[in-house]
Structure 1
Amino acid sequence: MVLGTAWLFDAADVALLSFIMPLIKKEWALTPGLLGSVGAITTVGMMVGAIWFGYLADRHGKKNIIMLTLLIFTISNLGLAFTQDIYQFMIIRFITGLGLGGELPVAATIIADSFSGDRRSKMLILVDSFWAVGWIFASLLAFLFMPLYGWRPTVIITSLMAIYTLVLRRHLPEETNVKNTKTNIKASISQIWSPEHRRATICLSLLWFIIMFVYYGLFLWLPSVLMTKGFNMFHSFGYTLLTSFAQLPGYFLAAYLMDKISRKKVLAIYLVGTLIGAFIFGTASSNAMVIFGSILLSFFTLGAWGIMIALTPTQYPISHRGTGIGFTQAIGRIGATIGPYLVGLSLGLKVSITMIFFYFVIALLIGIAILLFGLIDNDQVDQK
C-alpha cells in the first residue's frame, strides 16, 4: 500500500499538469508549442531520474533511494506554487521529473524483489492501479478545488500529502541484497545490453517508448482537446473525472488475466483496445462517442502500462533489475517527451484532431508488431 503511493503521486502530478496547462496558457499567454514544452521538460527530467536512480537503487539500497526521490518531488512541488513565469515553471518541472522518474522504477523493483511468478505480476499490476486513484484524486481537485482557489494552492496540497507518505516509508523493511561494489553506471548498463538481455532490452525500450508516447501525448492534452471539440473547461474536467473511473477495472482485469493466458497475449489485447479507443475518440462527432472513446482509452492504456510494469522486472536478474527497469523506462520517457510536444506543435499548425490521433494509431500498430514478433517472454527469466 505504501509503495503504491509512488504511482498515486506520479498520476496526480501528470493529471494536475494536464489541468493546469490551459490555465497557465491563459495566465502567461503561451503559444501551443511552448505549452507543449512544459509537458516535455517534465518527462526529460523523468528520463534522467529513471536511469540515475535505478542505478543508485541497485548500488545503495532501494529504500534509501525511494525516500530521496519522494523528498525531491515534495520540495519541488512546493516550489512550483511560487513560480512567476513559464521559465521558472519549467525549471521546477524538470526537478520534479527527476524525483518522479526515479520513484517508479525503484518502487517496481522493490515489489519485484519481494514476490515471484504470477503473484509478482499481479502485485505489480495492482500497485500500478494506484495510478488510477491518483488520477481520480487530481480530477476531483481540478473539478472542485482548483476553480475556486487556483492552481497554486492545488499543487501545495499534493506536497502536503507527499510529506505524510515520506513518514510512512520510513517503516519499509531494510534490504539484504544491496550491492556495495564500485561498479559505475556505464558498467551496469552494459550488463543489460549483454547477449543474454540485449533482445529484451531493445523490445522493452521500444514498447515503453510507444506506450508512453501514446499515454502522455493523449492524456496531457485531453482537457485541451475536449475544449477544442466544443466542451468548456468546466465540462472538460467533469468528463475527465468520469473517464478516470474506467482505469481501475482495466487494471483489475489485467491482473485477473495474468495466470489465465500469457503476458504477451494480455498486453496485445490491451494495445489493440487502446488503438480502438484512440480511433473512436479521434473521429468522434458526438458527445456520446467522445465519452465512449475516452473510457476505452482510460481502460486499456493504463492497463497496458500496468502489464509492462509486471513484465519488465522479470527480464533481468536482481543484481541489475533497478538499472534495467530504469533504463527501459527512460527510453520510454523520450516517447513521453515527444508525444505532448508533437500534439502541441500539431495544434499550433492547425492539424485536425482526427489526424493527430492517427499518430497514435500508427504507433500502436508498430508496438503490437514488436510485441508479437520481437519480445520473448521467457518465464524462466522470472527469478528473484
Structure 2
Amino acid sequence: MSITAPDHTVQQDVAARLERLPMSRWHVSVRLIIGVVTFFEAFDQLLIAFSLPEISREWGLSTAGATATLTVGSIGMLLGALASGWLADRIGRVRVITLCLVITALGNLGMALSPALLPFLVLRFIQGLAIGGEVPTAASYIAELSRAKRRGRFVLMYEVVFPAGLTVGALASAWIVPHWGWRTLFLIAAIPGVAAFFLQRRVPESPRWLAARGRSAEAQEVMTRIEENVRRSTGRDLPPPAPAPAVVGSESARTGALRDLFTGRYRRRTLVVWTIWFVGYLANYGLTSWLPTLYKQVFGLPIDVSLWYSTLASVAGLAGCVLAALTIDRLGRRMVLSIGLGGTTVAMGVLAVLGANSAGQLAVFSAFAAMFSFAANISLYLYTPELYPTRSRALGCSLGGVLNRLGIIIGPILVALVYAGGTGLSAVFLLIGGITLVGTLVTAVFAEETKGRTLEELSP
C-alpha cells in the first residue's frame, strides 16, 4: 500500500480536536465494541488451563504432552504479537482487530471438533496468532482515541475487560467442563465471532494513524464524523480545540522500524518496559496456569473443586485491575507498576516461607499475588502506547506483547521444571518472587512517568 508524507499541520489538528472531545456515549460505544472483542480473546486465552485436566484424561497425555498443550497457544500468541504491530502500522488498527477476531472464533470451532491431539495443537497455535495480535493492537487503538486528561482511567476501564474475560472464562470452565465437557466450552467460545460485523460497521479507523500515514483527507473525514457523533450524543457544541504540541518532522509517513525503538529517548523506555512485560507475565502465568493441576495432583481435590479454587485467583486479579484503573491517574504509572510487582513479590515470599501446606493456604496467597500482578500487568496496556510515536506505536505495543508471551511460555515451563526437580512448591514461589523483585527495582528506579501528558508531547 502506497503512502504519502504526512501533513504535520493535519497531525496537529487531529491531535487538538481529539483532545477537546468530552467523554460521550460515542466513546463508550466504541470502547464497548472493542472491549467485547478483547473480552472474548481473554476468555479464549485461559480456556486451555481449565480444560487441560479433562483433555489430558481423554487423550492420555504425559506431563510433556500437557505442557505442550498448555504452551503451544502461547507460542502462537508470541508470533502473533510480533506480526500484528508491523501489520497494524501498515493496514490499520481496525482491520487487524477484525481479522484476529474471525480467526479466533474459527479456531474455537475447529478445536471443539478435533478428533485427536495433533489437529487440536495446530488449531490452538493458529488461534494463538490471533489472540496475541488483537490485544496489543486494540491497546494502541484505544490510546489513540483518548485525551491526556484522565487517559489512564479511560484506557484501563477498557482494559479491565481482559481480566473480566479471564474471570468469566474461569467461572464458565468450572461449570461447563464437569457437566458438559471441554468440547462444549470451545463451541460456546466460537459464537462471539459475529461481533466482527459490528466492528466493521461501527468502529472508525484511528484518525491519528491515518494522519501519520499521510492519508490527510481520510483523517479529516473520520475526525469530522467522530465530532458529529460526540456532539449528537452530548447534545452540546464542542469547545474550540486547544493548541496541540507540535509534530516535528521526524514523524514521517514511514512506518516504525525496530531500530526506532532503540534510538534516543526510546532506548531506555523500550528496555524498561520489556523488562516489566516479561517479569509481570512470567510471574502471573507461571503460577495461575498450573493452579488447577496443582490443586488436583498435590492436594487431591476433585476436578470440579480444583477449578472453583482456581477461579479465586482470577476474581482477585479482576479486583486488582479495577483498583489500578481507579488510581493510576492519581498515583501515576510508575507507582502503580511498582506496587503491583512489589505486592506480588511479598505474596510469593510468604508462600515460600509457609510452604503452601494446604489448598486453602495456596488459594488465599495466590489470590493476593494475582491481585497485585494483574494490577501491574493491565497498567502496561496503558503505559506502553504512551511511550512511542504514532508511526511505531503498534510495533512498540506488539513487541511488548512478545515479551509478555515469552513470560507466559517460560513461566509454566519454569514451574514444571523446578517442581519436577523434587524441590517442592516453596522453591517455585521463591523463584517467582525473586524475579518480580528484580522487576520492582527496575520499575521504581528507571520507569519514566507519563501521566497527564498528551501522546504528541510524550513522543514528538
Band the TM-score falls in, shorter-chain normalisation: over 0.9
Change (3 A) 1:341 1:382: farther
> Are 1:23 and 2:54 counterparts?
yes
**Contact in 2 for aligned 1:33/1:344 (Cα 8 Å):** no
Q: Deviations over 1:230-288 (max 9, x none)?
A: 32211111122344322332122212222222211111111111122333445222344
Task: Identify which of 198, 201, 211 aligns with 1:168.
Answer: 198
1:330-350 per-position Cα deviation (integer Å, ceiling 9, x unaligned): 122112111112223334443
Q: What is the deviation of 1:216?
A: 1.6
C-alpha distance in 1, partners of 2:99/2:187? 19
- Please give the per-residue CA displacement for 1:273-317, whole angstroms capped at 9, x wherever unaligned: 112233344522234422321321231121111111111111001
Contact kept? 1:33, 1:345, Cα under 8 Å: no
User: Which of 215, 238, 259 is 1:190 aligned to?
Assistant: 259
Distance in 2, matches of 1:207 and 1:10, equals 22
Q: Residue 35 of structure 2 contacts residue 158 of structure 2 at CA under 8 Å; is this kept in 1?
A: yes
What is the aligned length? 382
Out of 253, 272, 282, the position equivalent to 1:213 is 282
Q: 1:165 to 1:96 in 2, by over 3 A?
A: same
- 2:337 corresponds to which residue? 267
**Is the Cα contact below 8 Å between 1:118 and 1:258 reproduced in 2?**
no
Separation (CA, whole Å) in 2 of partners of 1:349 and 1:33: 14
Say whether the 8 Å CA contact 1:209–1:335 is kept in structure 2: yes
Deviates more, 1:56-65 or 1:124-133: 124-133
Residues 218/6 of structure 1: CA separation in 2 closer, same or farther (3 Å cut): farther
Distance 1:247 1:380, change over 3 A: closer
> Which residues in structure 2 correspond to 1:1-384 (within 5 Å)?
1-160=32-191, 162-170=192-200, 171-176=202-207, 177-178=209-210, 180=213, 188-227=257-296, 228-282=298-352, 283-378=355-450, 382-384=454-456
Counterpart amino acid of residue 201 in structure 1: T
Structure with the greater alpha carbon radius of gyration: 2
Q: Is the 8 A contact 1:55 1:323 kept in 2?
A: yes
Give the partner amino acid of 1:35. Answer: A
SS in structure 2 opposite 1:117? coil
Tell me: CA distance 1:328–1:174, structure 2 relative to 1, closer, same or farther (3 Å): closer
Q: Which runs of 5+ in 1 are unaligned?
A: none
Change (3 A) 1:33 1:278: farther
Deviations 1:194-225 (A, max 9, x none): 12211111111111111111112111111112
Deviation at 1:180, TM superposition (A): 4.8
Asked if the contact 2:288–2:313 (Cα under 8 Å) also holds between the matched residues in 1, the reply is no
Gaps of 5+ in 2: 1-31, 215-251
Instruction: Name the TM-score, length of structure 1 as normaliser.
Output: 0.92
Aligned equivalents of 2:278, 2:80: Cα separation in 1: 16
Q: How far apart are the structure 1 equivalents of 2:388 and 2:205?
A: 22
